[in-house]
Structure 1
Amino acid sequence: MNSSVIGKFAENAVNFLFQHFRGGFDAFSAALGAVVKLLEDGLAAVPFVAMLVILVAFALWRRGVVFAVFVGAALMVIHYMGLWAQTVSTLALVIAATFFSLVIGVPLGIWGARNKRVEVILRSLLDFMQTMPAFVYLIPAVILFGLGRVPAVIATIVFSMPPVVRLTTLGIRQVREELLEAGRSFGSTDSQLLWKIQLPNALPSIMAGVNQTIMMALSMVVVASMIGAGGLGEYVLSGIQRLDIGIGFEGGLGVVLLAIVLDRLTESFGLKAKKSKRTVRTAKPAATSTAVRT
């Protein structure tokens, strides 16, 4: 089956990048690979018991006793299945992909919120990124960066970035106009409005974007096991190749438990931001009424 003119154009574009910028891609691949390996080695160096205590304590602080017990049980199940090393590898890839998605996505979201034309362009681009099948990203990633963790991280960044861009733009645009007017009346500059009014009030929306980015990164890392990403995805892929229900179920269960833990922990930051925002809103009318009485 031959590709059409559009397919040929995409193929030629990727080949052009590979032929003319191969040295740059190799250097970038080496640098990103070193970062991912350093992160994975750092997580792997922490003993399981220490990691268990840290995560349970963190869960207790963020969500309470019930969730802390669940986190402890989930980690014990993963360790019992012999998948702790694979889980650490997957977690390192998710953290790396999420970090770079936020570094790129949050500024793009801010830019889109402050420029209508940029928002229109970003919306079209993000629609394309979100609706394109995840497997398609693996092809150019492998051509440009080879097999292994680096193309997996690159493909994951492209796939998981849209939520944080969209929700950052949405959160900033939903900041109430009277808050901005109050800031301007006190002589705030645009940068001061952004850092002291818009971003703090948009934090619940931004954290929701971070949460969705992590979930999409985790799902894409599993898909990226096809190009040598390793981790839990490779375990699931092995079960598929062997038609082994036990291996597939254990790998899938590990992914599910890790996803729930990451989802609830990151969600807690957004819930706290929303609660703080409501507290500020309810405190303002009370303060105003007190001032009127005096």
Structure 2
Amino acid sequence: DSFEAFLRPILDTLQTIPFFVYLIPVIILFNVGRIPGIMASVLYALPPGIRLTNLGIRQVSAETLEAAQAFGSTARQMLFKVQLPLALPAIAAGVNQMIMMVLAMVVVAGLVGGGGLGLLAVKGLANPQRDLGVGLEAGLAIVLMAMVLDRITQTWAKNRQIAGQH
């Protein structure tokens, strides 16, 4: 609980910051290029993953933890063999949200030279007479990638949940 009390204001702050603002400190520290784009994207995406993992672990019932303890589980065994497996649906939802948020930052990362599809989308915006097609293709590729990764993570979570019930 003290760890959650420590993390909560940090995560609240990170989730309320507009995504462009994430670029300021990383550009100051690392100049422009791929590294600031990646770092800003990761910082932007971390809070929901942390929150949903925490929620999943905390939702494991006291009775389940008591039973594990009664069978002699150590704190480490309870975490890795009881809490984390039971929290997998919430963790998978967190992974899904993190992937979607990183993909949302791809174009923003392209603004600071992040490269990849984000940079191609930015080129399409910057010079639509010459690069509109490239920008549209990059934007469509980002959307398709988001849809495919969303389906993959949802299917993975569903399969893990079904496997855990048997």
State the TM bucket, normalised to the shorter chain. Answer: over 0.9
**Which residue is equivalent to 1:268?**
155
Q: Is structure 2 residue 100 aligned with structure 1 residue 184?
A: no
Q: Is structure 2 residue 26 aligned with structure 1 residue 141?
A: yes
Matches within 5 A, 1:153-172: 153-172=38-57
Higher-Rg member (1/2): 1
Distance 1:120 1:267 in 2: 30
**Which residue is equivalent to 2:145?**
258
Give the letter aligned to residue 147 of structure 1. V
Q: How far 1:246 moved relative to its partner?
A: 3.5
Instruction: Say which SS state the counterpart of residue 161 (structure 1) adopts.
Output: helix
**Which residue is equivalent to 2:37?**
152
Q: Greater RCO between the two (CA within 8 Å, min separation 6)?
A: 2
Matches within 5 A, 1:82-97: none
Q: Greater shift after overlay, 243-252 or 212-221?
A: 243-252
Distance 1:166 1:226 in 2: 28
**Which residue is equivalent to 2:111?**
226
Distance 1:172 1:179 in 2: 12
TM-score, L = length of structure 2: 0.92
Distance 1:202 1:195 in 2: 10
Distance 2:125 2:151 in 1: 29
Distance 2:145 2:162 in 1: 26
Aligned partner of 1:206 among 72, 88, 91: 91
Distance 2:31 2:127 in 1: 25
Instruction: Say which SS state the counterpart of residue 256 (structure 1) adopts.
Output: helix
Q: How far 1:221 moved relative to its partner?
A: 2.2
Q: How many residues align?
A: 164
Q: Is structure 2 residue 60 aligned with structure 1 residue 175?
A: yes
**Which residue is equivalent to 2:127?**
242
Distance 2:69 2:134 in 1: 60
Q: How far 1:263 moved relative to its partner?
A: 1.3
Which digits, 9 at most, give the CA deviation of each residue in 1:223-257, with x for residues without a partner?
A: 11011011111111111112345343222111111
RMSD: 1.4
TM-score, L = length of structure 1: 0.54
5+ residue gaps, structure 1, are: 1-115, 281-294
